[in-house]
A and B are shown apart, each in its own frame.
Chain A
Amino acid sequence: MMAQGGIPIQVTVNGKSHARTVEPRLLLSDFLRHDLGLTGTHVGCEHGVCGACTILVDGEPVRSCLMFAVQADGRELSTVEGLAPGPEQLHPLQQAFWECHGLQCGFCTPGFLMTLVPFLEQNPHPTEDEIRHALSGNLCRCTGYQHIVDAVLLAAARMRGEAR
């Protein structure tokens, strides 16, 4: 239960189990990127404001820059790498982002996706207002947000089976 050097942890990321030894001060975001090579999780601010590092821990969105990797021991994590069902296929939200120009540079995109996937699961019929509210914790410097809102509306309709 105590250590200054390495602490062994076991985490499941996108369904795959990983065992590593980590320094306590290692942020979960850096663990994913550097130790596991999952660089889809981006790091913008490291103080919880930008949302680029958002991942799911046990199904709920959190800032991976505001957790230590040791705290994830025994937990189930989902990152953007796990969204697409296969190499030739995108998640409906990814597909809609692509079609609606919901991204330009793409730096913020993983955080938006990992915020909005659980949002759409909990709220399959979102209004535009609710969508803007849901993405207020993620910053995008490129799109002006309108195209992201459009993408979420389209993805929601498709996921309900109402649009093609």
Chain B
Amino acid sequence: MKPAPFEYLAPETLDSALEALARHGGEAKLLAGGQSLIPVMNFRLAQPAVLIDLNRVQGLDYVREDGGGLRIGAMTRQRTLERDPLVAALAPLLAEAVPCIAHPQIRNRGTLGGSLAHADARAELPAVAVALRARLCLRRSGGERWVEARDFFSGLMSTLLEPEEILVEVALPPPMPRSGWAFVEEARRHGDYAQVGVAAGVSLDEAGRCREARLLYLSVGDRPVEAREAARLLEGSVPSAEAIAAAAEKASRDEMDPTGDIHASPAFKRHLARVLTGRALRRAFARAQGEAA
């Protein structure tokens, strides 16, 4: 099918985009990569009266180092993240997760900000943003606020974004010392949305004990799901196969409530989560130990 008619605005500055958004309020939609929005417009599941295209806005597409962490503009293409050496060095989890998103043809258009704002619970970037303790800058005409990624995702495809706000920047803190990360997912076909995915991060103290662990899941709830109790089982001791197995068991049994679909029952998703957690943690610990050595 074809999209319904709309008024098209292509502002060249953030201020004029914000003004247009303030003027048109709920009538308008922002267009970033279009890789989620245009399909729903083609099916007329979305019929915005006004489309504000962010693709010609200057200064929203950058990856910059800042105090050992990263600042990334919302319009940065997923394909850029995949290729950027700063991302590989300072956010290896992000670099490992991005190639799991769809296909190069999609990632050439799809943006970081679009994926976060779209807030699909099956998407990689929201879970990665929470795992990395990202902070998001939401701008409106005449003001801005910063929110933690973990608060930003407020439910099924919903976020804290108000209709007149634009997500403009994602700030990632410096990597934890002696840390290792891994992103693992299972999809029926490469590039499809994952049936389950897990982002794991660990950091070690000088004695090689786990100081902090993080486990974030996609496709097992209405938003990124963090398994805090399971992570706690790892903290304070030297990593072992037993502790990893216990954490994987805990996370998949008690800390998620997946709904099934035609390809995967809830029980199968829990099984996948358990197996993938073990894989991700083993890889993350090995990487942390490699870096510590």
Q: A2 near B105 (CB under 8 angstroms)?
A: no
Q: A54 near B105 (CB under 8 angstroms)?
A: yes
What residues of A have a CB within 8 angstroms of the CB of B55 in the complex? 71
Over the window 47-89 of chain A, the binary record of Cβ atoms lying under 8 Å from chain B Cβ atoms (1 yes, 0 no) is: 1100100100100111101111011000000000000000000
CA distance A70 to B35 in the complex (A): 16
* Given A66-B35, A67-B109, residue A61 in contact with residue B104 (CB < 8 A): yes
CA distance A103 to B108 in the complex (A): 26
Interface assignment of B51: CB less than 8 Å from any CB of chain A: yes
CA distance A71 to B3 in the complex (A): 15
Over the window 178-199 of chain B, the binary record of Cβ atoms lying under 8 Å from chain A Cβ atoms (1 yes, 0 no) is: 0000000000011100000000
A-B contact count (CB 8 A): 93
Q: B34 near A67 (CB under 8 angstroms)?
A: yes
Q: Which of B6-14, B62-70, B281-289 contacts A (4 or more CB under 8 A)?
A: B6-14
Q: B105 near A25 (CB under 8 angstroms)?
A: no
Interface assignment of A105: CB less than 8 Å from any CB of chain B: no
What residues of B have a CB within 8 angstroms of the CB of A61 in the complex? 104-105, 108
Nearest CB of chain A from residue B84's CB, rounded to whole Å: 15
Q: Which of B37-45, B123-131, B246-254 contacts A (4 or more CB under 8 A)?
A: B37-45
**Number of chain A residues close to chain B: CB under 8 A:** 31
What residues of A have a CB within 8 angstroms of the CB of B11 in the complex? 1
Interface assignment of B2: CB less than 8 Å from any CB of chain A: yes
What residues of B have a CB within 8 angstroms of the CB of A70 in the complex? 8, 10, 53
Interface assignment of B59: CB less than 8 Å from any CB of chain A: no
Q: B7 near A137 (CB under 8 angstroms)?
A: no
Nearest CB of chain A from residue B83's CB, rounded to whole Å: 11
Q: Which residue of B lies closest to A115 (CB)?
A: B105
Q: Find the residue from B11, B12, B102, B104 having the highest chain A CB count within 10 A.
A: B104
Nearest CB of chain B from residue A12's CB, rounded to whole Å: 18
Interface assignment of B4: CB less than 8 Å from any CB of chain A: yes
Q: Which residue of B lies closest to A22 (CB)?
A: B8
CA distance A65 to B5 in the complex (A): 16
Nearest CB of chain B from residue A53's CB, rounded to whole Å: 9
What residues of A have a CB within 8 angstroms of the CB of B10 in the complex? 1-2, 70
Interface assignment of B103: CB less than 8 Å from any CB of chain A: yes
Chain B residues packing against A (C-beta within 8 Å): 1-12, 34-35, 38-39, 42-43, 51, 53, 55, 79, 102-106, 108-109, 189-191
Chain A residues packing against B (C-beta within 8 Å): 1-4, 7, 23-25, 27, 30, 46-48, 51, 54, 57, 60-63, 65-68, 70-71, 115, 133-134, 136-137
Those 10 A-B pairs whose CB atoms lie nearest each other, nearest first: A137-B103, A24-B8, A47-B39, A136-B190, A25-B3, A66-B38, A60-B108, A61-B105, A46-B42, A4-B7
